[in-house]
Chain A
Amino acid sequence: MRIKKILSMTLLVTIMLTFAACGGKNTADRTVKDNNSGSNDKLVVAIWDKNQLNGLEEIIDGFTKETGIEADIQVTPWDQYWTMLEAGATGGQLPDVFWMHSNEIAKYAEYEMLLDLTDRINSSDKIDLSKYPKDIVDLYNWNNEKQYAVPKDIDTIALWYNKTMFDEAGLAYPNEDWTWDDFKEAAKKLTKSDGSQYGYALNPGNNQDGWYNMIYSMGGAVISDDKKTSKMDDTNTIKAIEFAASFIKEGYSPNYEVLSENSVDSLFKSGKIAMVILGSWMVNDFMSNDYVKTNADVALLPKDAFTGRRISLYNGLGWAASANTKNPDNAWKLIEYLCSKEGQQKQADLGVTMSAYEGTSDNWKNLYPEVNLQAYLDMKENIVIRPYSKSTVIWENYATEKLVDVWRGIITAEEACKSIASRMNELLKQE
């Protein structure tokens, strides 16, 4: 009986302590939020990529040393980031400074949730919009009137390949003369009949680091330049989708079910795939993996034999501020610092990402000298901005889901592309 009493008392105390700890943390968070009603309080900064956290924290430390303003970075994974942001926006409690993306800028700009930075940029001597890629500046510009975010970075796409597998098969490494046909040939030679190794794996969940590059280099497009019509039913686009689907069809890629359950980067890391096409945002993640570090290298994307074009899709994030932040001046100072030449240089030097400010990114590749990150920098010569419009998320989701049936071999590329084009046109008309 006594044992039971002691046991239950211990359990009770443990439970209470756990609750107190959780509860305590919550109250601490709440006091930080409540404290945002002054002007020398910490700025709340929101991002979604934990791979960039350390570098950004270091840059912000430099900012705090210079200005005395403190800032706290909160990481929310991509899947929940926008839900979090929207909930905050609806409730009037957005973070002070946060990342903006081409998928969502239209929504936030139209409903005036962002701080208008136009005047502050014009009167700033650190920010000169002509120093950033025009596409990215335009991305965050609303109706040619208001600039709602300052470009933070750019990303490009390149080809990762497994050197060991190439050596084993006696193949020469990818070089700048490679065409998509060479690429396919190599994938064929690198596929083992016992299913333990495949040449290439297409990422079915992401368009920017997959079929978009094939589409544009083959002369097709996703959306017209004026964003009023869909180009998904263009013959070259259909050709590119057929090409992308052929790897699974002809067996040089794992079957679709495997791709749907396992990300291509995890398949590459576990030595099941010889080549993958991935964006520069994956570099930090890849290089922290020992297998990739010792066995892989990076090359330029193949070009199209017919058009001679080599294209990488690119995108860039922007730093934005909340329209009703309690510290607009401090928020702007932080954005100014992060996007100034010094801030952007630091970002690249620390290997966080390629910076948007021209001429600052070369040092980014030095973080990992073992691999040829220069390829990502070289791809900057031939870039197309990632397609977007006001309703990007809706038609992109529709396209991704429709293309699943092409990867599975259930419908033809032509059928899918025509269906996607018609849905896109419907949505674009409503914009």
Chain B
Amino acid sequence: MKKLFASKAEKNEFISGWLFILPTVVGLVVLNIIPLIKTIYESFFKTGAFGKGNVFIGLDNYRRLFTDEEVWQALINTFKYAIIEVPLSIIIAMFIAVLLNKKVKGRTVYRTIYFLPMVAAPAAVAMVWRWLYNNEFGLLNYIRRVVGQNPVNWISDPKIAIIFLALVGVWSVIGYNMILFLAGLQEIPKDYYEAATIDGAGNIRKFFNITLPLISPTMFFVVVTRIIAALQMFDVIYMMIDKSNPALKKTQSLVYLFYKHSFIQSEKGYGAAIVMLLLVVILLITALQMYAQKKWVHYE
């Protein structure tokens, strides 16, 4: 009989390996995998309240999904949000990270300040920004009135509301991206820069030819995770846009629709179908990114 383990030591290592990852695995299975399977399952039902009385209706939820204008507009809104938030936050964060990588005086203070928005609770952030944007009493319009300009409906004008929501997202996420980029920057050996200086390269040349390629693994990670997070945006919209806001239709994201159908209107089956759509979209985009990885990410 062939032995599974070569020695007792190997067996011990195997067991302790699993013990170490057990908490994460349990958490993953209970909080992520099982709900995922349950959601896929529920998307084929017309759900009753309190988890009882589910009626199997096959693909009806999906059929409704395809003809539901609200859902497709929400998809567009979600994309708009991501297109504004991700590139802006990455570019700004990259810029700040490069600046704070040098031996500037008090740079730890600066780093803390830039990271602070991440520490604030998203709900609190949304509430404060909501007041800044308020068209009657908000600070931004107050300043505009003082300098003689007309007030702007920052978050109740359907044409522009999504832009200003995305800016709130940018503001809150810059710190996170910055920290990741800083870590990536510090991995780059100083020799490259020295060699470049000797060869007479200017700062801009150094940035594009040394920094960017060598930080591309970090950049890849940030881009992938930020896109996924942006496509899942919910709390900024939920907290800043009311049901009666004229911009609602042009700002509600897929997750917001999921929340509305599942928890406010108790149609969990339909909500599950909406979330499945989001899952497919995110999977596709991430798969594309993985493929594109070979083209632009520079691994050592």
Residues of A whose CB lies within 8 Å of any CB of B are 83, 86, 89-90, 107-108, 110-111, 113, 204-205, 254, 256-262, 267, 270, 272, 393-394, 397, 400-401, 404, 408
B53 interface neighbour in A90, A111, A254, Cβ under 8 Å: A111
What's the minimum C-beta distance from A338 to chain B, rounded to whole angstroms? Answer: 26
- Contact yes or no, B242 A205, CB < 8 A: yes
- Contact yes or no, A397 B136, CB < 8 A: no
- Contact yes or no, A261 B248, CB < 8 A: no
Q: What are the residues of chain A within 8 A of B263 when measuring CB–CB?
A: 83, 86
Q: Which of B3-11, B29-37, B152-160, B205-213 has 4 or more CB atoms under 8 Å from chain A?
A: B152-160
What's the minimum C-beta distance from B166 to chain A, rounded to whole angstroms? Answer: 18
Q: Is B221 located at the chain interface by the 8 A CB criterion?
A: no
Q: What are the residues of chain B within 8 A of A400 when measuring CB–CB?
A: 243-244
Complex CA–CA separation, A205 to B241 (angstroms): 12
Q: What are the residues of chain A within 8 A of B244 when measuring CB–CB?
A: 204-205, 259-260, 400-401, 404
What's the minimum C-beta distance from A431 to chain B, rounded to whole angstroms? Answer: 13
What's the minimum C-beta distance from A292 to chain B, rounded to whole angstroms? Answer: 17
Quick one: which of B35-70 are within 8 Å of A by CB?
A: 48-53
A261 interface neighbour in B50, B52, B245, B267, Cβ under 8 Å: B245
- Contact yes or no, A393 B248, CB < 8 A: no
Main secondary structure of the interface of B (DSSP, over half): loop
Q: Is B291 located at the chain interface by the 8 A CB criterion?
A: no
22 contacts between A and B (CB under 8 A): A83-B263, A86-B266, A90-B50, A108-B49, A111-B53, A205-B244, A257-B153, A257-B156, A257-B157, A258-B135, A258-B136, A259-B244, A260-B244, A261-B134, A261-B153, A262-B135, A267-B136, A394-B265, A394-B267, A400-B243, A401-B248, A408-B246
Given A86-B50, A89-B50, A111-B48, decide whether A262 and B134 contact each other with a Cβ distance below 8 A: yes
Q: What are the residues of chain B within 8 A of A267 when measuring CB–CB?
A: 136
Which 5 pairs of residues, A with B, have the shortest CB-CB distance? A204-B244, A257-B156, A257-B153, A205-B244, A260-B245
Residues of B whose CB lies within 8 Å of any CB of A are 48-53, 134-137, 153, 155-157, 242-246, 248, 263-267
**Residue in A closest to B138 when the chains form the complex, CB atoms:** A261
- 10 more CB-based (< 8 A) A-B contacts, given A86-B49, A86-B266, A262-B135: A111-B50, A111-B52, A205-B243, A257-B135, A261-B135, A272-B136, A400-B243, A401-B243, A401-B244, A408-B246
- Contact yes or no, B136 A404, CB < 8 A: no
Q: What are the residues of chain A within 8 A of B157 when measuring CB–CB?
A: 257
What's the minimum C-beta distance from B74 to chain A, rounded to whole angstroms? Answer: 14
Main secondary structure of the interface of A (DSSP, over half): helix
- Contact yes or no, A111 B265, CB < 8 A: no
- Contact yes or no, A397 B243, CB < 8 A: yes
Complex CA–CA separation, A207 to B299 (angstroms): 60
Given A257-B153, A257-B157, decide whether A397 and B265 contact each other with a Cβ distance below 8 A: yes
Q: What are the residues of chain B within 8 A of A111 when measuring CB–CB?
A: 48-50, 52-53
Q: What are the residues of chain B within 8 A of A205 when measuring CB–CB?
A: 242-244
- Contact yes or no, A393 B50, CB < 8 A: no
What's the minimum C-beta distance from B70 to chain A, rounded to whole angstroms? Answer: 10
Given A90-B51, A257-B156, A393-B265, decide whether A404 and B134 contact each other with a Cβ distance below 8 A: no
**Residue in A closest to B267 when the chains form the complex, CB atoms:** A394
**Residue in A closest to B249 when the chains form the complex, CB atoms:** A401
Q: What are the residues of chain B within 8 A of A270 when measuring CB–CB?
A: 137
A113 interface neighbour in B50, B265, B267, Cβ under 8 Å: B50
- Contact yes or no, B49 A107, CB < 8 A: yes
Q: What are the residues of chain B within 8 A of A83 when measuring CB–CB?
A: 263
What's the minimum C-beta distance from A92 to chain B, rounded to whole angstroms? Answer: 9
- Contact yes or no, A262 B136, CB < 8 A: yes
Complex CA–CA separation, A260 to B156 (angstroms): 7
Complex CA–CA separation, A107 to B264 (angstroms): 13
- Contact yes or no, A261 B243, CB < 8 A: no
Complex CA–CA separation, A408 to B246 (angstroms): 8
- Contact yes or no, B136 A256, CB < 8 A: no
What's the minimum C-beta distance from A284 to chain B, rounded to whole angstroms? Answer: 23
What's the minimum C-beta distance from A272 to chain B, rounded to whole angstroms? Answer: 8
Q: What are the residues of chain B within 8 A of A258 when measuring CB–CB?
A: 135-136
Candidate in B49, B52, B155 with the most chain A CB atoms within 10 angstroms: B49
Q: What are the residues of chain B within 8 A of A107 when measuring CB–CB?
A: 49, 266
Complex CA–CA separation, A91 to B34 (angstroms): 17
**Residue in A closest to B46 when the chains form the complex, CB atoms:** A430
**Residue in A closest to B130 when the chains form the complex, CB atoms:** A261
What's the minimum C-beta distance from A14 to chain B, rounded to whole angstroms? Answer: 15
